[in-house]
Amino acid sequence: MAPYDPDFDPLWKAHVENLERQAEEKRRAKLNPPPPAELAETSLELFRDLLEVTQADDPEQWIFNRSQETVYNDDGDHGIATNLRLVADYFETVECRIESLVNALAWSGQAYAENALNLLTKVHLVLTERSSRERSELSLGLEYGQHEQVVRYFCVLVERLRLLRTAILNVMAQIRTVREMDRSEERDERDDDGRFDDLGEWVRDNLKGKQRRVLELTIDADGECPLAAIAIDRKVSWEAPYDDAFNGIRKAVNPKLHKIGWKLERNDNNSRLAKLGQE
């Protein structure tokens, strides 16, 4: 038998690559920490997602909802199917987001960092502290379609996360408090009229994805931002021409904005936010 060579062991190589990735993330976080506002939003976004899990009255129902996907047959007809791999992917993504955020928080100096780090450590343990046998059963269950076995595994995760709900709410409140203090200082420095402050808070709490990012960029540009500038943002990435992409965002968000007295509109080649009734 040939001697063991770790270079030909895929599990070992994956482990080494993961360690190298974590070391690189720590190095980048230390040398180039994210701005406080970005760190606060990234933290709140992750905790909002975790809070959604903890608010599930029925863990099995949450798992079912998360596992639904649209499938197509050879004739192009579509329907809804259950794919528990989507739930596994969700938790794996959360693990990666936690690892990345922990590095950023560790060097941030933010007042909420210690509590957030302690909570993220607990969440990470919930997601990863399972026996080798349990993890093996999960892998086999996903591979061979053993539905009940996989659901039981995920139900344990959801139930354990639910125990952290109060802690998640407390940390989110602390982050929001620090964020508001930072914004107040920034407003004093800029001596602006703050007319978009309430709208910005609403956008962060009620929108996601490209809808949220387009409005954030427009607010940051004092209410009117060139579409070309929005298009090149890494969270938007529109391809020219931008008409259909912007109109899709506008039609989706305006019914929500109208309820709070705002509208998103196009002004020449700019995205503009205006009060209802304002020309």
For 89-106, write each residue's pLDDT tens digit.
Answer: 999 999 999 988 998 998
Question: What is the structure's pLDDT at 279?
Answer: 58
> Is a pLDDT exceeding 80 seen at residue 201?
yes
Strand partners, 69: 81
Which phi and psi (to 5°) does residue 2 adopt? -70, 145
> Is a pLDDT exceeding 80 seen at residue 278?
no
Q: How confident is the model at residue 4 (pLDDT cuts 50, 70, 90)?
A: very low
Alpha-carbon distances, residue 233 vs 106, 117, 271 (angstroms): 27, 29, 14
The third-level CATH classification (topology) of the domain covering 193-275 is: Arc Repressor Mutant, subunit A (1.10.10)
Question: What is the structure's pLDDT at 267?
Answer: 87
Which phi and psi (to 5°) does residue 165 adopt? -60, -50
pLDDT averaged over every residue in the chain: 84
Kindly report which listed range (1-10, 90-99, 142-151) carries the lowest average pLDDT score: 1-10
> Is a pLDDT exceeding 60 seen at residue 124?
yes
Q: Which helix (H) or strand (E) holds 252?
A: helix 243-258
pTM of the model: 0.60
Q: How confident is the model at residue 191 (pLDDT cuts 50, 70, 90)?
A: very low
Across 34-61, average pLDDT: 91
For tokens 């990863």, the residue is 128
CA distance 237 to 232: 5
Q: How confident is the model at residue 213 (pLDDT cuts 50, 70, 90)?
A: very high
Residue 223 backbone class (left: φ over 0; alpha: ψ -120 to 50; beta: rest)? left
Are the C-beta atoms of residues 228 and 266 closer than 8 Å to each other? no
Contacts of 262 (CB under 8 A, 6+ apart): 199, 273, 274, 275, 276
Across 185-196, average pLDDT: 59
